[in-house]
Amino acid sequence: MPIDWFGRSAFTLLVVFLGLISGCQSSEMVKPMALRPGDTIAFVAPAGELDKVRIERATGRLEAMGFNVVIPANLYRQTGYLAGTDQERADELMRAFLDPEVNAIFPGTGGYGTTRMLDLLDYDLIRKNPKVFIGFSDITGLHIALHEKSGLVTFHSPNPMWGLGSEGEWNPFARDYFWRALLADAYTTNEPYVIDADERVEYPITTVRGGKARGVIVGGNLSLVQAVTGTDYQLDTRGKILYLEDIGEAPYRVDRMLRQLKASGQLDEIAGAILGRFTRRRSEDTSDETTTMEEVLDEYFAPLGVPVIRDFPAGHVSDNATLPMGVVVELDADAQTVTVLERPIRLADERKVQTGTRSTREIARDSRTRRQIIRSQP
């Protein structure tokens, strides 16, 4: 059965400070614990409203695997085109990060709304309480903010509504790489693993420019990367592998967004680029397009002098491979593969690696913050 979030004792949340995880050096990424059956996954709605049928289907599949699922009492709230007010959505997300019983946070869907709440989050507290965080599309806003402000490794991946809660069988390619990234049992060794578009992938990958490159992978949905450009959350792409995808955008709109990334310098020093499929354009009829999407992408990325592939199976596609964001990967544009070189999670025997002694002042401050968040619960 789903766990009633608001039926928990406030005392549980107040005592979480006893197990706070201290931050490492600001230049280091913080990795969450790997998932095991018996762990607890909290669903949240930080963007658009959720579909109850799909969420219940996702809940059933997770419970069948042995996970506990936290369902907030007002998860299905709606405020216009948003899943609640900015403060409601931010508070819900912070409660999930601060709950010591929660191991992972699964936003139900994207849509719109994450950039509206970025200033309402406490990134220091999130860094001290790292948890598995997943999602794609509008959730890119949170992936970027958590990367830039908390240094947290997150996972660009399917979500409960589009993947776990899909009608019929979940796409095997997407399912396999999702659990490959998150489950502790997948890491019997510390060997890298390859994301390889095999025969299960619907569209072939195209090499724009060959070669190999290594770097930390960042990015996500182009509209969100562009939306935070020029703000305090702008991505630092220098020396990174930049991943971009989008949905429902005409070539000229993608051109405009890439022009802003170029003007801001975010394309100047990248180590390589992974471009997903830019799906469901404004019209399925492309006969009146004077410039194709492929021509737009190639115009910006081919001259950069770095390895580039496009049509990689990630993002708004059924074969949505999970990409651990914030870890080192190798892009082999000739082989058309992405190799995850750095383990994106921690195992049980590594729990103490990022634990440190905290001052009385830090503990008191965090306790006060928790009390404020608890009082905001409906």
Q: What residue has token string 């703000």?
A: 231
The string of pLDDT tens digits covering residues 137-191 is 999 999 999 999 999 999 999 999 998 988 888 899 999 999 999 999 998 777 8
Kindly indicate the confidence band of residue 361, based on its pLDDT and cuts at 50, 70 and 90. Answer: very low
More confident of the two residues 98 and 369: 98
pLDDT at 283 over 70: no
Tell me the average pLDDT of the chain.
86
CA–CA separation, 140 and 235 (whole Å): 11
- The CA–CA distances, whole Å, from 137 to 143, 220, 256 equal 10, 7, 19
pLDDT at 270 over 80: yes
Instruction: Check the CA dihedral 160-280-137-48 and report its sign.
Output: negative
- The CA–CA distances, whole Å, from 373 to 87, 93, 133 equal 10, 10, 20
DSSP letters spanning 120-154: GS-HHHHHHS--EEEE-GGGHHHHHHIIIII-B-E
- The CA–CA distances, whole Å, from 22 to 26, 82, 95, 359 equal 11, 33, 18, 10
CB atoms within 10 A of CB 80: 9
In this prediction the pTM is 0.84
Q: Are 339 and 195 a contacting pair, CB within 8 Å?
A: yes
Q: Looking at 88, 92, 148, 245, which residue is catalytic?
A: 245
pLDDT at 369 over 80: no
CA–CA separation, 272 and 241 (whole Å): 5
What pLDDT does residue 202 have? 86
Task: Return the beta strands (E) in the chain as ranges.
Answer: 3-4, 40-44, 68-71, 104-107, 132-135, 154-156, 193-196, 206-209, 212-221, 241-247, 272-279, 308-312, 323-325, 328-332, 337-340
CA–CA separation, 34 and 184 (whole Å): 5
Helices (H) then strands (E): counts for the chain: 11, 15
The CATH number fitting domain 193-340, selected from 3.20.20.70, 3.60.21.10, 3.40.1710.10, 3.50.30.60: 3.50.30.60
Rounded average pLDDT over 254-268: 98
The fourth-level CATH superfamily of domain 3-189 is Murein tetrapeptidase LD-carboxypeptidase, N-terminal domain (3.40.50.10740)
Backbone angles phi, psi at 135, to 5 degrees: 130, 170
What pLDDT does residue 348 have? 77
Active site residue 137: yes
User: Could you give the residue range(s) of every CATH 3.50.30.60 domain in the chain?
Assistant: 193-340
Active site residue 245: yes
User: Could you give the residue range(s) of every CATH 3.40.50.10740 domain in the chain?
Assistant: 3-189
Q: Looking at 137, 150, 157, 166, which residue is catalytic?
A: 137
Active site residue 316: yes
Q: Are 102 and 133 a contacting pair, CB within 8 Å?
A: no
Backbone angles phi, psi at 11, to 5 degrees: -60, -35
pLDDT at 14 over 60: no
